[in-house]
Amino acid sequence: MAKTRPPRTATPEIYADIYKMFMAPVSAFDCGAKCGEHNNGAPICCSTEAAIPIVDKHEWKLLKKRTDLWHEYKAPDKATEKELSDLHHDCVAIECKGFMSCERENRSMSCRTFPFFPYIDREGDFLGMSVFWGFEDRCWVQSHLQIVNLRFLTEFVAAYEMLFQVDRDEFTANRDHSASMRRVFTRHDRPIPLLGRDGHLYKVTPTTHEIKTARFHEFGRWGFYEKDKPAEPAKHWATLDPNSLKGLTRASR
């Protein structure tokens, strides 16, 4: 009798399991209220003018079955159409009804994980989370990384472990994105922030790939938030990695 092969891509059932497990918000703060002040009240990552959610076709199948919150995204102009034409054939660009209609349990993976992606080193090890740096001038969280809750970090890592086990393309895309981040940060001579899967804060030197423990204030504040005072850190940093908080208050003076 033929054996059943394990799936080579994440099925809708796997996405359903991930959705069930990965519900933690990034922090105790409503970060959408912070960035929304600069976007007519709407969280920046919930506006397709800023970020278009992309889902895998199996995730799309699941979402369509669960809710009518989402529809396929229609590019408003030729430039966006061209940008989307490079999408992997398994991916779909989608749009929700807007932040006033958000359904927490029916958020896509990209909603749940933003502004983070899984950082993978050149040896292919998944080390923790880093940021979608292209949004650092608008995304409040990226200027206040100390607000990230341990529960979010733990669920994020578990979600990607589940995905990577079955979806090689997802792993490759994130490994390539990590390499691209190293190239960009080399050009800008900046350390890469890494919220390690062990709950500690690190910095990656992009030229040498060296990883050292870090302090939040080393990553600076950006764009709208350049002059912000540091937000209150999540509790776990004070117990697990107190060194990471040193200099945070001083940095704002």
DSSP string, 201-230: EEEE-TTT--EEE--GGGG---GGGTTPPP
Q: Where are the alpha helices (DSSP H) in the chain?
A: 12-21, 31-36, 57-66, 78-85, 109-113, 150-166, 168-187, 235-240
| Dihedral class, residue 25 (left if φ above 0, else alpha if ψ from -120 to 50, else beta) | beta
What is the token pair recorded at 241? Answer: 């990695």
Among 107, 175, 197, 203, binds ligand SF4 (CB under 6 A): 107
Interface residue with ligand SF4 among 15, 56, 58, 115 (CB under 6 A) is 115
31 binds ligand SF4 (CB under 6 A): yes
Q: Mask: binding to ligand SF4, 138-177, rule CB under 6 A, as x and -?
A: -xxx------------------------------------
Rounded to whole angstroms, the Cα distance separating 55 from 35 reads 24
Q: How far apart (Å, rounded) are the C-alpha atoms in residues 145 and 148? A: 6
Over the Cα atoms of the chain, what is R_g?
18
Q: Which of 44, 63, 92, 153 binds ligand SF4 (CB under 6 A)?
A: 44
96 binds ligand SF4 (CB under 6 A): yes
Q: Does 34 bind ligand SF4 (CB under 6 A)?
A: yes
Nearer to ligand SF4, 115 or 206 (CB): 115
In the complex with ligand SF4, the residue whose CB is nearer, 102 or 179, is 102
With CB under 6 A as the contact rule, the residue among 102, 158, 162, 251 that binds ligand SF4 is: 102
Residue among 46 and 129 whose Cβ is closer to ligand SF4? 46
CB 84 within 8 A of CB 35: no
The sheet with strand 54-56 has its strands ordered as 54-56, 91-96, 70-72
Asked if 206 interacts with ligand SF4 (CB under 6 A), we say no
Q: Is 62 in the site for ligand SF4 (CB under 6 A)?
A: no
Give the SS3 label for residue 73.
coil
Q: Choose between 32 and 193: whose C-beta lies nearer to ligand SF4.
A: 32
The tokens for 239 are 């117990």
Is residue 35 a contact point for ligand SF4 (CB under 6 A)?
Answer: yes
The single residue among 73, 75, 84, 99 that binds ligand SF4, judged by CB under 6 A, is: 99
Question: Shortest Cβ distance from residue 30 to ligand SF4 (Å)?
Answer: 8
- Which stretches of the chain bind ligand SF4, using CB under 6 A? 31-32, 34-35, 43-46, 53, 96, 99, 102, 107, 111, 114-115, 139-141
